[in-house]
């Protein structure tokens, strides 16, 4: 599996499929429904902050940067909610009430922040030139972005605990795994 862009996953060509490949869609689900949104969150976070994805993209006009920042912040909140929805079934199937409650609380917090986004900017219309620009209120905008970052950081632990990031094996000691990896070089 190779990531070409934050939004496109390319799988290597295979000529034969094992029984596991045919019947186990878990890896595909985790890749598309968990990993892809997590990568998108980083992408939206960068654009929310700077208006561009790369330092080489500074040829974008300033008025478009403001629009891109607002759009990215909105998608950032939406993608967090989408990621939570994609993961919550794991907690239900494992009867993990604590993680499910954490995820539910994070979703509510995200929805509250999402409702505040329209108050973080002003749309300015110019009737003579028939154009519009966005004026971002940086204090509110950055406060919402930082709060969404906190939600994103808090998501990682329950998602990992569910085995959707790193496989969780009850008899494995992470310290021993790291030591073995370092020794084998």
Asked if residues 59 and 89 have their Cβ atoms less than 8 Å apart, the reply is no
159-181 pLDDT, tens digit per residue, is: 888 777 777 666 666 677 667 76
107-130 pLDDT, tens digit per residue, is: 999 999 999 999 999 999 989 988
Spell out where 21-149 has E strands.
Answer: 121-126, 131-136
Tokens for 10, please give them: 């390319």
At 111, give phi and psi (nearest 5°). Answer: -60, -40
More confident position, 12 or 98: 98
Give residues with Cβ within 8 angstroms of 104, minimum separation 6: 88
């Amino acid at each position: 599996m190779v990531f070409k862009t934050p939004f496109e996953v390319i799988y290597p060509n295979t000529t034969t499929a094992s029984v596991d490949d045919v019947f186990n869609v878990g890896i595909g689900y985790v890749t598309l429904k968990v990993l892809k949104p997590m990568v998108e969150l980083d992408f939206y976070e960068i654009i929310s902050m700077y208006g561009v994805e790369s330092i080489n993209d500074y040829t974008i006009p300033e008025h478009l940067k403001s629009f891109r920042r607002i759009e990215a912040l909105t998608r950032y909140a939406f993608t967090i909610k989408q990621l939570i929805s994609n993961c919550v079934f794991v907690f239900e199937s494992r009867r993990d009430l604590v993680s499910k409650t954490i995820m539910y609380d994070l979703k509510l917090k995200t929805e509250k922040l999402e409702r505040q986004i329209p108050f973080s900017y002003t749309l300015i219309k110019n009737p003579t030139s028939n154009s519009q620009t966005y004026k971002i209120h940086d204090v509110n905008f950055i406060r919402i972005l930082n709060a969404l970052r906190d939600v994103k950081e808090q998501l990682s632990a329950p998602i990992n605990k569910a085995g959707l990031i790193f496989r969780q094996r009850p008899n494995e000691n992470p310290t021993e795994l790291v030591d073995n990896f370092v020794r084998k070089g």
